[in-house]
Amino acid sequence: MPVPQSGRAEALLSAMVAGHSDRESPAWRALDRIVREAAGVDAAVEAAVGRLWPPPPSPEGEAASALPGLPELAALLVELGDRDRQIGDALSDWLRRDAPAAASSNVIGGSAVLHGPTVQAHLIHGGVHIHQQSAPPGPQRLPVPRQLPPFREQFVDRESDIRVLDRMRERRPAHAAPLLVVSGFAGVGKTSLVSRWLHRNASSYPDGHLYADLGGSSGADSGSGSGAGSGAEGSGPLTPATVLEGFLFSLGAQSVPSSVAGRVSLWRTLTSGLRLAVLLDNAFTAAQVRPLRLGTPTGLTVVTSRSDLTGLRVDGASVHRLDALPADSAVELLALGGGGGRVARDPVAAREVVTLCGRLPLAVCLASAQLAARPHHSVSDLAESLAQGQGSLDILRVDGEAVMRTALDMSYDLLPPEAATLYRRMGLLPTDRYDRYLLTAIAHAPGGGGGGAGTGADAAPERPTPDAGEPHDDADTAGGAAPTSVDLPISALIEAHLLEETGPGTYRFHDLVRPHARRVGEAEESSAQRADTVRRYVEWCLVTAAAAERILTPSHPLPGHDADVTGVMPTPLGGSDEALAWLGAHRDGLMGAVRHCFRAGMYTSCWRLVDLAWPLFLRLRPTALWIEAHRMGLDSARRSGSRQGEGRMLTSGAIGLRYAGQYEEAADWYRQALENATADGDVRQQAQAINGLGHLSLLTRRLGDARAHFEHALRLRESIGYARGAALTRTRLGETALAAGLLGPAAAHLRRAHAELTALGEGYEAARALALLGHVLAEEGDHEGGTRLLAEALSDFRAGGARSEHWEGRCLEWLGQAAESRGDTAEARRHYASARDFFSRLNPSDAERLDARLRHL
């Protein structure tokens, strides 16, 4: 019995499916005329129709529901019919008079599930899941990010502004990607308003929320100080490339293109059709925003900025200027703290206070906290204190910073001594993210030892280095209970509205508060105290990065250079996911520590921190930071006289240059590493450099050079008994032979590499060799053996230890090639389509290659 249709889009889709098989029929030709007429509505619709129409014919024996694009096209036509009466009438007439009968088709819609024995009586379309036979697992659903800042409980009024945002969103053209800008001066509550509005509309964006602070106010901060205590090292508005990198990883991309154009392309591909909201906070210019906005009409991009970003109006942006709170609402906000009774008893003084605060929510909240901290002071006393420090009215009108500085000074003066010390020291750090373990480290920094930051002395002397092959066990310092000694100071800062809690045990400053904390830190902490504070921050970075390195890349730690520092506890990391998340979240802070160490002459700490951050570079591939860090690390290793450090910086830095496509410079770094290692008699490092040169030759298709380099590296690695390195080089030799079409030698190298890597417990690398071997066998004509090995490797890449979406996609593509070679077109199409699903969010060029394969079938 057919399932009843529901809705015009489903009825249209059913008729299209029923009629697709006879494309010469009058009904199909009539539909073709309607679709092509609809394409003339505007350029965006024309582009969409050109992509979806006409649909390719379905393979013989395959259900019409497999036709790509038909559901999207049906929905688009119905939406156009709602906007254009002529198109709507034409569609209605076609469905009533000309559409093929679809009554005999079985329609299973939505998330319907069939249980028990099932008979297909006719064509089936819709979402089908039959429990008797589970389909092979496909690509996992994209992660659903929920990154919006938590909104403050102290929130009043703004209902009129929320209604304005609602109207701005509703009035957008149906097929335009909505872009809203909320502007206003610092402290007026732009982020709080937009966050609350987006939380309120969360159901409209089930695919999640992305958030990025673009750092538009950072440039103003950098002039307030420099040197050891400056928290503005390397600060400034974030580049679109950096923001895109974070967004792409949040959406499940396992690697990110090095070029901005490549990242923008992948961003557009990944977000196409998603109902996703993006909040770009604190934007600096329109040019900073343009590459980051969503390009899909199903999503929403909201930008906050101190300026109106009028340049975005040409992109279709709607701009709303957020003003200060009305006086009554500001007084209500003032009363929300502990001084509500006093506010009610003295309404005249309360109005004077909020006027002196410019009716800015942040300043009013600071004033409210002061009333709560001084239960015996009247509202008039508070107004008098504010009036004494009031800046010029003209400055207040520009950005509100004069009154904010006064309010922050008063709030700071009320802090308990421990909280005031912590506040000052937090302001000195080159980071904007804090957790309780970091705050414990700097709260306990001794005051007065260690010398200034420019002395060139490190926190500890470099330890002696044993032989390269000597085993080394890093001490586990991640244990122990969470620190509690900073809980009271942290609570005091939060209650004073000087610190915001962003998650369990994680904190940030408002962008107006951080420069104030830095100013008082530079003014009130001695030079020795400033140096000790930042040094202990560096030590916390070192020990926590070392813990992440041990978890994520256990074969990478440098023998003889453990990073455990007495008295500094690392942030505990409960496994690979937490370790990688910590590296991603603190990437900018780690780079701030690297830059500080380089400028302060802490050269050993500088290159060691770069070396410890290897899993960050390897797994997240922030190519610009990778190269910047290794340039500083290389210089630091040379200045500190560490040949071992110099070798590590040259080889790992060359990999970053390679990922960035800078092959010539990468080769130069490898050659420098080889020259040094040869002079030092370091065979292992020689092999590493030669192997890297071989990889560059392979990438540039100089296959003879690649083979010679890999064979040389293999001999060296075997000579010192470096079994893992030898097996990895054999994998590269197999890839080189495959690229040259030498399938027999390729299979021999890959068989041995797989056996050796399996024996060593290298699950990921063994699966990689197995996948390559399966592909080689299939290319040789052993379709059964090749398919079996590819299926085994695919299973490995879907498991936890060897999990890799990139290699899962490659296995699926190779399985498709094997099926196509043996003439199984349906199987090839299935594998190619699954591979394309992966590559669409990993690499657009790979997805385009799969599209071409699908068109070719």
Q: Which pLDDT score, from 0 to 100, does residue 623 have?
A: 83
Predicted confidence (pLDDT) at residue 546 exceeds the cutoff of 70: yes
Could you tell me if residue 487 is left (phi over 0), alpha (psi between -120 and 50 degrees) or otherwise beta? alpha
**Helix and strand totals (H; E) in the chain:** 39, 10
Higher pLDDT, 217 or 454: 217
Alpha carbon distance 831, 824 (integer Å) = 11
Q: Which pLDDT score, from 0 to 100, does residue 477 have?
A: 34
The whole-number average pLDDT for the span 211-237 is 53
Alpha carbon distance 697, 502 (integer Å) = 47
Alpha carbon distance 842, 844 (integer Å) = 7
Of 251, 148, 202, 191, the closest CA to residue 502 belongs to 148
Q: Which pLDDT score, from 0 to 100, does residue 172 have?
A: 76
Q: Which pLDDT score, from 0 to 100, does residue 142 have?
A: 58
Q: Which pLDDT score, from 0 to 100, does residue 701 have?
A: 92
The whole-number average pLDDT for the span 94-115 is 52
Residue 186 neighbours by CB under 8 Å, 6+ apart: 217, 306, 360, 362, 399, 400, 401, 404, 511, 512
Predicted confidence (pLDDT) at residue 568 exceeds the cutoff of 80: yes
**Cβ–Cβ under 8 Å, residues 420 and 564:** no
Higher pLDDT, 313 or 546: 546
DSSP state of 136: P
Cβ–Cβ contacts within 10 Å for residue 744, how many?
10
Supply the DSSP string of 428-446, one letter for each residue: TSS-S-EEHHHHHHHHT--
Percentages helix, strand, coil for the chain, rounded to the nearest 5?
60, 5, 35
Higher pLDDT, 100 or 101: 100
Alpha carbon distance 563, 557 (integer Å) = 10
Of 272, 264, 270, 269, the closest CA to residue 289 belongs to 264
Q: Report pLDDT digits (tens) over 276-311.
A: 999 999 888 888 899 999 988 889 999 998 878 878
Pairing of strands 434-435, 506-508: antiparallel
Predicted confidence (pLDDT) at residue 479 exceeds the cutoff of 50: no
Q: Which of 280-284, 366-370, 462-466, 696-700 is the most confident on average?
A: 696-700
Predicted confidence (pLDDT) at residue 2 exceeds the cutoff of 90: no
**Cβ–Cβ under 8 Å, residues 320 and 182:** yes
Percent of the chain surpassing pLDDT 90: 34
Least confident span in 215-219, 229-233, 581-585, 836-840: 229-233
E runs forming strands in 311-447: 318-321, 434-435
Higher pLDDT, 698 or 282: 698
114 - beta bridge partners? 130
Cβ–Cβ contacts within 10 Å for residue 851, how many?
15
Predicted confidence (pLDDT) at residue 38 exceeds the cutoff of 70: yes
The whole-number average pLDDT for the span 533-560 is 91
Higher pLDDT, 436 or 844: 436
Supply the DSSP string of 228-279, one letter for each residue: TT-TTTT-SPPPHHHHHHHHHHHTT-SS--SSHHHHHHHHHHHHTT---EEE
Give the number of residues written for the chain: 857
Which token pair is 791? 């299926």
Q: What is the largest CA-CA distance in the chain?
A: 92
Alpha carbon distance 484, 479 (integer Å) = 15
Q: Write out the H or E segment, with its range, that includes residue 303.
A: strand 300-305
The whole-number average pLDDT for the span 551-565 is 76
Q: Report pLDDT digits (tens) over 298-348.
A: 899 999 988 788 788 888 888 888 888 888 888 888 888 777 788 888 888
Q: Which of 6-20, 441-455, 517-531, 576-590 is the most confident on average?
A: 517-531
Percent of the chain surpassing pLDDT 70: 77
Fold of 756-857: 1.25.40
Q: How confident is the model at residue 119 (pLDDT cuts 50, 70, 90)?
A: very low
Which residue blocks in 720-804 are alpha helix, DSSP H?
Answer: 723-739, 743-759, 763-780, 783-797
Q: Which pLDDT score, from 0 to 100, does residue 437 have?
A: 92
Predicted confidence (pLDDT) at residue 422 exceeds the cutoff of 90: yes
Predicted confidence (pLDDT) at residue 428 exceeds the cutoff of 80: yes
Q: Which pLDDT score, from 0 to 100, does residue 532 have?
A: 93
Q: Report pLDDT digits (tens) over 133-175.
A: 334 444 445 568 888 887 665 677 788 888 888 888 888 777 7
Higher pLDDT, 582 or 5: 582
Query: What are phi and psi for residue 129, nearest 5 degrees?
Result: -140, 110
Q: Which pLDDT score, from 0 to 100, does residue 221 have?
A: 40
Predicted confidence (pLDDT) at residue 14 exceeds the cutoff of 60: yes
Q: Which pLDDT score, from 0 to 100, does residue 217 have?
A: 64
Least confident span in 183-192, 199-208, 595-604, 695-704: 183-192
Cβ–Cβ contacts within 10 Å for residue 355, how many?
16
Of 740, 763, 771, 840, the closest CA to residue 270 belongs to 840
DSSP state of 114: B
Q: Report pLDDT digits (tens) over 770-796.
A: 999 999 999 999 999 999 999 999 998
The whole-number average pLDDT for the span 106-129 is 44
For domain 159-321, give the CATH number. 3.40.50.300
| Distance (Å) of CA 182 to CA 155, 217, 218, 283, 450 | 17, 15, 19, 10, 47
The edge-to-edge listing of strands for the beta sheet with 209-213 is: 209-213, 277-283, 300-305, 179-183, 318-321
Q: What is the mean pLDDT of the chain?
A: 79
Q: Write out the H or E segment, with its range, that includes residue 281.
A: strand 277-283
Cβ–Cβ contacts within 10 Å for residue 360, how many?
25
**Cα 214–216–218 angle (5° rounding)?**
105
Of 588, 651, 559, 659, the closest CA to residue 619 belongs to 659
Of 812, 733, 801, 740, the closest CA to residue 771 belongs to 812
Least confident span in 21-25, 45-49, 119-123: 119-123
Contacts for 42-49: CB closer than 8 Å, 24+ residues apart: 42/175, 44/175, 44/176, 45/76, 45/80, 45/175, 48/76, 48/175, 49/73, 49/76
Residue-range domain boundaries for the chain: 8-126, 159-321, 327-413, 417-583, 756-857
- HSE-CB at 446 with a 13 A cutoff on CA atoms is 7
Query: What are phi and psi for residue 726, nearest 5 degrees?
Result: -65, -40
Q: Report pLDDT digits (tens) over 369-415.
A: 878 878 888 888 888 877 765 432 233 333 445 566 777 887 888 88
Q: How confident is the model at residue 609 (pLDDT cuts 50, 70, 90)?
A: very high
Which residue blocks in 414-526 are alpha helix, DSSP H?
Answer: 417-427, 436-443, 487-495, 513-524
**Cβ–Cβ under 8 Å, residues 249 and 266:** no
Higher pLDDT, 778 or 805: 778
Q: Which pLDDT score, from 0 to 100, does residue 88 have?
A: 74
User: Which pTM does this prediction carry?
Assistant: 0.65
Q: Which pLDDT score, from 0 to 100, does residue 328 have?
A: 85
Of 151, 120, 270, 256, the closest CA to residue 207 belongs to 270
Alpha carbon distance 276, 586 (integer Å) = 25
Predicted confidence (pLDDT) at residue 657 exceeds the cutoff of 80: yes
